[in-house]
Structure 1
Amino acid sequence: MIRLATRMFVYKEFYEEYKKRHDELWDEMQQTLKSHGAHNYSIFLDEQNGYLFAYVEIEDTEKWAAISDTAICRKWWEYMAPLMKTNEDNSPVAVSLKPVFYLA
């Protein structure tokens, strides 16, 4: 498994809505994540500053990257865009984090 971590940002007034939308994650989006090799996907919120920390284990980087080409992923990005900082294509602005320690 390949471990990935990213940092994103959600606007303070949308903390609860962000959580609600993930609690109600569409079945098709969930299946797409899994079919693109996602395991143990977690997102954590720092309520003091709006930063999100996302952690996911993936099977393959190319398989994972291909998720952005799916219609359901683009629909999810559009749905989430009003709540967070995004790029022009509605994908979340995500900063990859460098691993510095791991204890198995």
Structure 2
Amino acid sequence: MTAASATAASASTTADGTAAEAARVRHLLDTTAARSPRRSCFLLRVRPDKLADYLEIHQRVWSEMLQALSACGWHDYSLFVDPDTGLVVGYFESDDADAARRAMAATAVNTRWQAEMAQYFQQPDGGTDRILSQYFFLP
């Protein structure tokens, strides 16, 4: 799923529930000059009872996983966490973030890593990254 389609799916209605407002938001996000194919930001939700383990495992990410991320074009990759809620914010840059996501998803090491990480995420979909739309950028 591309960033645009993920956002479109989540923006079918807005918090106030109006389709017109959702369409206006979608238009603004689709046409903003701040959009970039080079930057990607996403959300994950970690189970609070597994957060310490999740953070600990990220202190020793498999070297094969790190190599695959780099080979697929990911750089300046960071993860941030709200320790009170388990909300994880991920950010990375690439020449083409959508292509880098697709390339990484196709690797065997990513499949193994995601299977290992599944136990840490809130269910039903806390481990499915929700891609955020960029609407502002200060170079």
Q: Same fold (TM over 0.5)?
A: yes
What SS class does the counterpart of residue 20 from structure 1 fall into? helix
Query: What pairs with 1:1-104 in structure 2 (closer than 5 Å)?
Result: 2-60=38-96, 61-85=98-122, 92-104=127-139
State the shift of 1:43 in Å: 0.6
Q: Distance in 2 between matches of 1:39 and 1:87?
A: 29
Give aligned pairs, total: 102
Cα deviation for residue 69 of structure 1 reads 1.3
Cα distance change of structure 1 residues 15 and 56 upon mapping to structure 2, 3 Å threshold: same
* Residue 54 (structure 1) shift: 0.4
Q: CA RMSD in A?
A: 2.0
Q: Which moved more, 1:70-79 or 1:56-65?
A: 56-65
Larger Rg: 2
Q: Which runs of 5+ in 2 are unaligned?
A: 1-36
Following TM superposition, by how much is the alpha carbon of 1:92 offset from its aligned partner in structure 2, in angstroms?
2.6
Native 8 Å contact 1:8 1:51 kept in 2: yes
Task: Kindly report structure 1 stretches of 4+ aligned residues shifted beyond 6 Å.
Answer: none
The alignment-based identity, stated in percent, is 27
- Structure 1: gaps (5+ residues): none
**What is the one-letter code of the residue matched to 1:93?**
T
CA distance in 2, matches of 1:43, 1:92: 14
User: Normalised by the size of structure 1, how large is the TM-score?
Assistant: 0.88
C-alpha displacement of 1:87: 7.2
In structure 2, give the amino acid aligned to 1:69. Answer: A
